[in-house]
Structure 1
Amino acid sequence: MVFQKIPVKRIPAARKCAMALQAISRQQTITEIARNFHCSRTTVHAQKNRALEAAANEFKDAIDDETLFTVPVTRSFIHQMVVGLFCICNSSYRGIMSFLKSIFDHPIALGSVFNILDAAANKAAVLNEAYALSPIRCSAADEVFHRNQPILSVVDIESRFCALLARAEDRDHETWGIHLLDLQARGYAPDTSIVDSAKGLIKGHANILPETTLRHDHFHFIRDLKDCARYLKNQVASRTTATLKLVRRAEKQRDAQKKEAQSAGASIALTGLVVLEETYATFQLLAQWLQHDVLQLAGYAPQVRAMLYDFIVAEMSIIAGRHPHRIDAIVTSLHYRRDALLDVADALNDQFAQLATQYGISIHTVWHVCHTTRYGIDHCAYHDQSSALESLIGEKADEIEDAVLAILKKTHRCSSMVENLHSRLRPYLSERKTVSHKTLGVLQFYLKHKPFMRSRHERLKNKTAAQAMTGKPHLPWLEILGFAGFKQPAA
């Protein structure tokens, strides 16, 4: 029986799709499919190829030349690009010129780049000085150097807000005093300021902020301890290699007289190695005691810390006699900075005394609670000591422990936050580049308005330092400088 063939234009789309799927499945021949759908075999092949092409296009990778969105390139956009490249990408002036020429085919003069950044610096200076600094309760101050000239910096520890970033000719107490007076005029009066052993820094704070408690930094001293321990460890490794070479050389020597002389030398080297190993092991142990039992906040009462401190200093003095290099400087620093390093324990003692009075317990018990908090909650020692404290204190044990933890959390002993600021600043402090006061002003503005991409603290995640200090949201930093922010059109 002969069927009349239907023209392809008259076949519905659903039947075309079914025809293509049957042809692709290959369960029937093309002739049978054409007969079933009353069309020619050419039509079946065409619909099959059309379906395969559609599937291939659907799974094809995105075309690189596809237009995602368009950007209106105005003069303001170019200025915004210049400031963004300088701050975000740390681009040089000529790097910015090359970028605009290469990507946008827009040549720009070196002087224009300077003028754009200078105008942004003027705006940033006004905005930096507009912040009231009264919310800062605990700060850290330090200096970083560029081309042997100091850059003075002050950071709020809680929010990481940079209150001061200024280039200076000197770092004596008068220079610090001038800058602290400027900060004081904007409400800067912290309860505590953490400083290192720089005399100008300490005297400047003492003169201008007499009511602010100066707490001496532990960060730099702990770093010096670790550096010295690492040096001794490397010395042990190098001496071990050298001693093994002497021993092997003596073993291989066939001449009896030379072998005896080399064996004596190897024996002397081995004795020196044993002494050096003992020195390293002793110093490493004393350094760990000092860091974890004396300087750590969660620990012993001030009297016990002072006793341990004096014992550690005495023992280090002994090993400094055997190996004075580096260790002698550590011992001198320990003698000189004894009260400064232990003053944080006295500050904790004052707060624990108030806590003891509030709950009607002895301050010794509060310090016992403090010592217990140094262990993890899964540690056996924590459960043993906390059980003993619960039987001694009663139902208020957990409440007292929470109060102790709150005191430890708000008591700071390291200037690591200002060192964190310096680590973010150092990529801009190339020795080949001149860093002016205005440049530092732009960088200060950028760093305190740049959101933290990650943080251990929930209060800082996806927030800027300015938001964390003021508690108020603000526009993106480029929009604060007066540039129009670009937003992609809604899809």
Structure 2
Amino acid sequence: MRLEIASIAHTAQTLNMWGAITNLSKDYSVSRNFIYELLKVLKDTSSLIFAPSKAITQLSKKDAVAVMLHYRMIGRCSLESISELMKIRSLPFSGLGTISEMLSKIGNTLPSNIKLDKNMRLLILIASDEVFSKSTPILITVDPISSAILKIEKAENRKGETWKKHFDEVKESGISVIGVVRDEGNGLALGAKESLPEAIYQVDSYHAIAHRFGELVGKLEKRVNKLKEADVKDGLEKNSKETEDAIELSDNFSYLYYCIINELKPFCHTGEIRNRASANGEIETALELMQTLGSDEVNKRAKSAKKVLPNLLNYFEQTKKSIEECQKEGVNKDALEFLSLAWQWGKAVVKAKDIDRKHRAIEQRDIYIYFAKELLKDEYESISQLVFGKLELIIQASSMVECINSILRPYLNNSKNNVSQGFLNLFMFYHNHRRYRAGKRKGSSPMELLTRKEQKEEWVELLMDSVEEANPSFFL
């Protein structure tokens, strides 16, 4: 399937068929980025695939491993698929057992935590969470700004001592943790408290509010629709009392929920920083009103949400700091407010699942960008880059871990969730050193963004060097 997609895409590019990649992504239900990654694999290996048989036979072990790595990491191929593709092209070292052994050895030579230069120490806020391979927990800690994985490990459990050891090893890598964005998991909370007692705790606002209440909005609306349909079937000319009560509960709950969501935004509609004390008070009032709606389920969720309220808005302090730094750089007040709102609506674009909401968010974002451009003229590019860079330091949730999970998930699926620590080490190295091909991080690798040091070689070359450093005879 992957080879088929790559071949069609290559033909389309060769013939300059406009829109073909977009259509291909729709036909196969895959992303455009995934198709471009497959294209890169095809192009990188084409010299080997179409080389004379003699040249292929003489292919070195190191070059063969490079092919395996490209198929595995960029193509996301299973070991069986890698073996089949290499055998079709008469490439050496194509046996399934050989491929499995080589990739396993490579993964086991790599560390499970990030490797920094000896004299380097980084002061950062981290995001941590767990994902699952079947019932096996995988603990992940990332830098949400650069997207670099700081540590990834297959764990036996999610207990406090396991997370404490995890955080201790993150610190040993040269990371000084100033804050932790996490959910309310007991083991994660206990481990962070014991290992990182001085770090600021930021509640994951998504898990605390949107995850806790968001699904309930739809659930209550569905109940209303079912009751209305039942009333119609019963021949009632107007809603029954049960239906009216359900409508009232749904409307009141939705109103209060969206009031809370609005207070989570760091900027008011004017572009000024939202007052933390006021926002906290509004959220607390909304939660108390939820408890008066007469629903046991709503009451239970509101009660649990009140427990995390003290640490829910800690990111407001970073908001204030980011704006103050922009002001010190001499950014015009009106321009700063326009750019702050453009940034906030940009976040809404990413979060929106409903297409109408996404379009509205895009429209609002573009309006404020237009205002900023009109005000700043030729200075727009430099000033907007400065402001957006400062605002990106505002972290509300551990959503970057979810992003990593979405990248990792296809590998877990094609290995039938039989994941090893060696593969997780390999995945972390690949992710941290690959260059983004699109988006705000385009052209940079997570490692470059984290360390601010130029990465001169591609990920596979760096990986080969790392393996040879650990085992000089590996490719002999």
Using the size of structure 1 for normalisation, the TM-score is 0.66
Q: Which residue of 2 aligns with 1:30?
A: none
Structure 1 position 432, deviation (Å): 2.6
User: Aligned to 2:435, which of 451, 455, 458?
Assistant: 451
**AA aligned opposite 2:76:** N
Q: Alpha-carbon deviations, 1:47-91, whole Å to 9, x = none?
A: xxxxxxxxxxxxxx99xxxxx965443143332222222222222
Once residues 202 and 109 of structure 2 are traced to their aligned partners in structure 1, the CA distance between those partners, rounded to angstroms, is 35
Change in Cα spacing, 1:340 to 1:114, as seen in structure 2 (3 Å) is same
Structure 1 position 305, deviation (Å): 1.6
Is 1:112 aligned to 2:82, yes or no? no
Is 1:465 aligned to 2:437, yes or no? no
Matches within 5 A, 1:60-459: 70-71=50-51, 72-73=55-56, 74-76=59-61, 77-104=63-90, 108-125=94-111, 128-130=114-116, 134-220=121-207, 221-247=209-235, 270-292=240-262, 294-299=263-268, 300-319=274-293, 321=294, 323-325=295-297, 327-345=298-316, 408-430=391-413, 432-455=416-439, 457=440
**AA aligned opposite 1:475:** E
Structure 1 position 127, deviation (Å): 9.3
Structure 1 position 461, deviation (Å): 1.0
Once residues 83 and 307 of structure 1 are traced to their aligned partners in structure 2, the CA distance between those partners, rounded to angstroms, is 53
Once residues 118 and 190 of structure 1 are traced to their aligned partners in structure 2, the CA distance between those partners, rounded to angstroms, is 32
Structure 1 position 344, deviation (Å): 3.3
Once residues 342 and 100 of structure 2 are traced to their aligned partners in structure 1, the CA distance between those partners, rounded to angstroms, is 58
**AA aligned opposite 1:309:** I
Structure 1 position 409, deviation (Å): 4.1
Once residues 160 and 246 of structure 1 are traced to their aligned partners in structure 2, the CA distance between those partners, rounded to angstroms, is 56
Change in Cα spacing, 1:356 to 1:315, as seen in structure 2 (3 Å) is farther
**AA aligned opposite 1:198:** G
Structure 1 position 103, deviation (Å): 3.7
Structure 1 position 329, deviation (Å): 3.6
Higher Rg: 1
**Contact preservation (8 Å) 1:172, 1:201:** yes
Once residues 213 and 97 of structure 2 are traced to their aligned partners in structure 1, the CA distance between those partners, rounded to angstroms, is 49
User: Aligned to 1:478, which of 440, 457, 460?
Assistant: 460
SS at match of 2:430: helix
**Contact preservation (8 Å) 2:105, 2:422:** no
Once residues 104 and 377 of structure 1 are traced to their aligned partners in structure 2, the CA distance between those partners, rounded to angstroms, is 53
**AA aligned opposite 1:453:** R
**Contact preservation (8 Å) 1:180, 1:208:** yes
Structure 1 position 315, deviation (Å): 1.5
**AA aligned opposite 1:278:** E
SS at match of 2:184: coil
Structure 1 position 330, deviation (Å): 2.1
Once residues 329 and 433 of structure 2 are traced to their aligned partners in structure 1, the CA distance between those partners, rounded to angstroms, is 41
Change in Cα spacing, 1:120 to 1:379, as seen in structure 2 (3 Å) is closer
**Contact preservation (8 Å) 1:136, 1:156:** no
SS at match of 1:229: helix
Segments of 5+ residues of structure 2 without an aligned counterpart are 1-14, 17-45, 269-273, 331-335, 346-363, 372-383, 466-476
Structure 1 position 468, deviation (Å): 1.2
Once residues 101 and 389 of structure 2 are traced to their aligned partners in structure 1, the CA distance between those partners, rounded to angstroms, is 49
Once residues 175 and 243 of structure 1 are traced to their aligned partners in structure 2, the CA distance between those partners, rounded to angstroms, is 54
SS at match of 1:426: helix
**Contact preservation (8 Å) 1:302, 1:349:** no
**Contact preservation (8 Å) 2:127, 2:181:** yes
**Contact preservation (8 Å) 2:64, 2:92:** no
**Contact preservation (8 Å) 2:178, 2:198:** yes
Once residues 372 and 445 of structure 1 are traced to their aligned partners in structure 2, the CA distance between those partners, rounded to angstroms, is 34
Structure 1 position 278, deviation (Å): 1.9
Structure 1 position 275, deviation (Å): 1.8
SS at match of 1:140: strand
Change in Cα spacing, 1:342 to 1:91, as seen in structure 2 (3 Å) is same
Change in Cα spacing, 1:239 to 1:414, as seen in structure 2 (3 Å) is same
Once residues 402 and 234 of structure 1 are traced to their aligned partners in structure 2, the CA distance between those partners, rounded to angstroms, is 44
Change in Cα spacing, 1:241 to 1:451, as seen in structure 2 (3 Å) is farther
**AA aligned opposite 2:200:** T
Identity %: 20
Change in Cα spacing, 1:102 to 1:348, as seen in structure 2 (3 Å) is closer
Structure 1 position 475, deviation (Å): 1.1
Structure 1 position 421, deviation (Å): 0.9
Change in Cα spacing, 1:312 to 1:78, as seen in structure 2 (3 Å) is same
Structure 1 position 242, deviation (Å): 2.6
Once residues 111 and 459 of structure 2 are traced to their aligned partners in structure 1, the CA distance between those partners, rounded to angstroms, is 13
The total of aligned residue pairs comes to 370
Once residues 92 and 86 of structure 1 are traced to their aligned partners in structure 2, the CA distance between those partners, rounded to angstroms, is 7
Once residues 406 and 463 of structure 1 are traced to their aligned partners in structure 2, the CA distance between those partners, rounded to angstroms, is 15
